[in-house]
Amino acid sequence: MGATRIDGNACGAAVEASLAERIATLPTPPHLAVVIVGNDPASHVYVGAKERACARLGIRSTRIDIDADADFSEVVSTVERLNADPEVTGILVQSPLPSGMDEIAITDLIDPVKDVDGFHAQNLGRLVQGDASGILPCTPAGVMRMLEWAGVDLSGKRAVVIGRSRIVGMPQSLLLAQKGADATVTIAHSRTEDMAALCREADVIIAAVGRSNMVVADWVKPGATVIDVGVNRVDDDSEKGYHLSGDVHPDVAEVAGALSPVPGGVGPMTIAMLMSNTVRATEMQQ
Ligand code: GUN
The one catalytic residue among 7, 114, 115, 117 = 117
Q: How high is the pLDDT of residue 78?
A: 99
Domain that holds residue 55: 27-117
| 233 and 155 belong to one structural domain | yes
Ligand 1, atom 9, residue with closest C-alpha: 94
235-270 confidence digits (pLDDT tens): 999 999 999 999 999 999 999 999 999 999 999 999
**Ligand 1 atom nearest to 96, measured from its CA:** 1
Ligand 1, atom 1, residue with closest C-alpha: 95
| 171 and 242 belong to one structural domain | yes
| 164 and 110 belong to one structural domain | no
**Is residue 131 a part of any domain in this protein?**
no
CATH of the domain at 225: 3.40.50.720
| 145 and 86 belong to one structural domain | no
CATH of the domain at 48: 3.40.50.10860
Distance (angstroms) between ligand 1 centre and the Cα of 167 equals: 7
| Ligand 1 pocket check for 94: Cβ under 6 Å | yes
**Is residue 129 a part of any domain in this protein?**
no
110-143 confidence digits (pLDDT tens): 999 999 999 999 999 999 999 999 999 999 999 9
| 169 and 65 belong to one structural domain | no
Cα 74 off chain centre by: 26
* 102-111 average pLDDT score: 98
| Ligand 1 pocket check for 95: Cβ under 6 Å | yes
| 253 and 169 belong to one structural domain | yes
**Is residue 93 a part of any domain in this protein?**
yes
**Which residue out of 32, 43, 46, 93 has the highest number of ligand 1 atoms within 8 Å of its CB and is therefore the one to mutate?**
46
| 153 and 263 belong to one structural domain | yes
The answer to whether 50 is a known catalytic residue is: yes
**Ligand 1 atom nearest to 138, measured from its CA:** 6
Distance (angstroms) between ligand 1 centre and the Cα of 35 equals: 11
Q: How high is the pLDDT of residue 162?
A: 98
Q: Answer whether 0.85 is exceeded by the pTM.
A: yes
Q: How high is the pLDDT of residue 30?
A: 98
**Is residue 243 a part of any domain in this protein?**
yes
CA nearest neighbour of 29 among 106, 107, 87: 87
175-224 confidence digits (pLDDT tens): 999 999 999 999 999 999 999 999 999 999 999 999 999 999 999 999 99
Burial per residue of 250-278, b for 16 or more beta-carbon CB atoms within 10 angstroms, e otherwise: eebbebbbbbbbbeebbbbbbbbbbbbbb
Distance (angstroms) between ligand 1 centre and the Cα of 12 equals: 17
| 205 and 255 belong to one structural domain | yes
The alpha-helical segments, DSSP class H, found in the chain are: 8-24, 41-57, 72-84, 103-109, 121-128, 138-149, 169-177, 195-200, 266-285
| Ligand 1 pocket check for 208: Cβ under 6 Å | no
| 146 and 261 belong to one structural domain | yes
Give the integer Cα–Cα distance in Å for 67 and 49. Answer: 20
26-69 confidence digits (pLDDT tens): 999 999 999 999 999 999 999 999 999 999 999 999 999 999 99
| 103 and 140 belong to one structural domain | no
**Is residue 194 a part of any domain in this protein?**
yes
Q: How high is the pLDDT of residue 154?
A: 98
The answer to whether 71 is a known catalytic residue is: no
**Is residue 257 a part of any domain in this protein?**
yes
Q: How high is the pLDDT of residue 183?
A: 98
**Is residue 173 a part of any domain in this protein?**
yes
| Ligand 1 pocket check for 167: Cβ under 6 Å | yes
| 193 and 254 belong to one structural domain | yes
| 153 and 206 belong to one structural domain | yes
The answer to whether 94 is a known catalytic residue is: yes
Ligand 1, atom 4, residue with closest C-alpha: 95
**Is residue 61 a part of any domain in this protein?**
yes
The one catalytic residue among 50, 114, 157, 221 = 50
Give the total number of structural domains in the chain.
Answer: 2
On average, the pLDDT of the chain sits at 97
Q: How high is the pLDDT of residue 1?
A: 60
Other Cβ atoms closer than 10 A to 143 = 31
Tally DSSP H helices, then E strands, for the chain. 9, 11
